[in-house]
Amino acid sequence: MKFADYLSSLKGKSVFVIGAGISNTPLIKALLGAGIDVTVCDRRVRNDIGEAAESFELGGARLRLGEDYLENLHADIIFRTPGLMPWNPALKKAIANGAVLTSEMEVFFEVCPCKIIGVTGSDGKTTTTSIIGEMIRREYAADFSKSVHVGGNIGTPLLCKADSMSTDDIAVLELSSFQLMTMRKSPHIAVVTNLSPNHLDAHANMGEYVEAKRNILAYQNEQGRAVLNFDNSYTRSFAASTPAKKVFFSSRETPKDGVFLNNGEICSAKDGRNKAIMQVGDIFLPGRHNVENYMAAIAAVQGLVSDDAIVETAREFRGVPHRIEFVDEFRGVRYYNDSIASTPTRAIAGLLSFDRKVILIAGGKGKGVSFDELGNMIIKHVKTLFLTGKTAEQIRDSVTKAPGYDGMPEIRILSDFSDAVIAASKSARAGDVVLLSPACTSFDRFKNFEERGNVFKEIVRGNPQSE
């Protein structure tokens, strides 16, 4: 079914779209362009939505804004924004009254004409998605009949582009637990990078979070491929959840079918036969976690791209903004922006990316997960710790109670984010690394991690050492 046909099927029905953010805005415009009866619901008020609110109204939409945006959802079809849980009482009541609950991503899976590679996990999914997309782009560079489309939880929403895609194209999607919870289709190739406690401030418990991630495999068949992290107990157990071909990647073991490390080489194994793909040293991006990201990506694209495209990507791909992104160097001090690190495990990966102790800036809004393991790692890998945001005292306490803490690293708490960055810079000396790796979300003071990272970069490029 084409997207245009899906839109036609909605004529005469009442459609509510909850959330007027990046992913749903093109959908709203497409619905209105097709003459559909649309109500846009959003917790924000008109001034916060800006010019888009007037644009929606001019297109014929009704707006339901503010705290009561979920009241009386009398609709035939409801498009859920990913951040609104399907067990929300207002949604459950609407479904009981006959409404069909769906989402922009669910409809994309219905209308996409090409193969889909879906990537999820607690950490590394954005980088892995981007690496896969870059490998395929390089493979397709000389064939103008094929294209790769990267989207999902990153980049441009793809639903409204589905009808321009060909059957020979490939769509590579990052998929969050919130998107996966209600999915009724699985990608042809499903990648699960890893699993650790995350989003427990939103999910009912860890079990619900794990099951949401497992749902990426629920509708695969024997022709599909499940790429799983063998070294993670959660993802390894997912193998029993799918009839698809299981392809493991591992830093510790040599799977019969999969990708593994061997004396500084990333190798592939198929039916017990091993082949070297590339050297770990070929990877431009720093950090052990990026080696694992490449192993996951290689397992996903085997049979689709050449080894040359894989190696070229590793040597030339400079990474994704806000993911251990090199910002600049002043007076021998290097600055890295890892604002995407909204969990302790991701921040730990950032610390392990460097061959020296770093000056760390951390803190923000927590996700309901423990900072104890991060505290243990901070003692080993941090020279000076600058904390800011709502979780500053929690992180400090995790460090000071960690075994072996003897007053080092020095810990400073500053209420203002800018003050924390400037103080970290002033404490640095030639040869130091200043790393923003918050271990928390940005929502205590920024609208998203991108804004936080951009503010960090602006401050750094203003050369705070000179102030």
- Structure confidence at residue 52 (pLDDT): 92
Has residue 154 got a pLDDT over 70? yes
pLDDT digits (tens, 9 = 90+) for 5-29: 999 999 999 999 999 988 899 999 9
pLDDT digits (tens, 9 = 90+) for 262-304: 999 999 998 778 999 999 999 999 889 999 999 999 999 999 9
pLDDT tier at 175 (50, 70, 90 boundaries)? Answer: very high
pLDDT digits (tens, 9 = 90+) for 200-258: 777 889 899 999 999 999 999 999 999 999 999 999 999 999 999 999 999 999 988 99
Name the pTM for this structure.
0.83
What's the rounded mean pLDDT across residues 189-210?
A: 88
Domains and CATH numbers, the chain: 12-102 (3.40.50.720), 106-316 (3.40.1190.10), 325-466 (3.90.190.20)
- Structure confidence at residue 466 (pLDDT): 43
Has residue 467 got a pLDDT over 90? no
Does residue 397 come out as left (phi exceeding 0), alpha (psi in the -120 to 50 range) or beta? alpha
pLDDT digits (tens, 9 = 90+) for 369-387: 899 999 999 999 999 999 9
pLDDT digits (tens, 9 = 90+) for 61-98: 999 999 999 999 999 999 999 889 999 999 999 999 99
**What's the full length of the chain, in residues?**
467
pLDDT digits (tens, 9 = 90+) for 317-336: 988 889 889 999 999 999 99
> CA-CA distance, 363 to 460, in Å (whole number)?
18
- Structure confidence at residue 464 (pLDDT): 53
> CA-CA distance, 381 to 379, in Å (whole number)?
6
Q: In terms of Cα–Cα distance, which of 29, 80, 16 is closest to 58?
A: 29
Q: In terms of Cα–Cα distance, which of 350, 341, 437, 319 is closest to 388?
A: 437
pLDDT digits (tens, 9 = 90+) for 97-127: 999 999 999 999 999 999 999 999 998 999 9
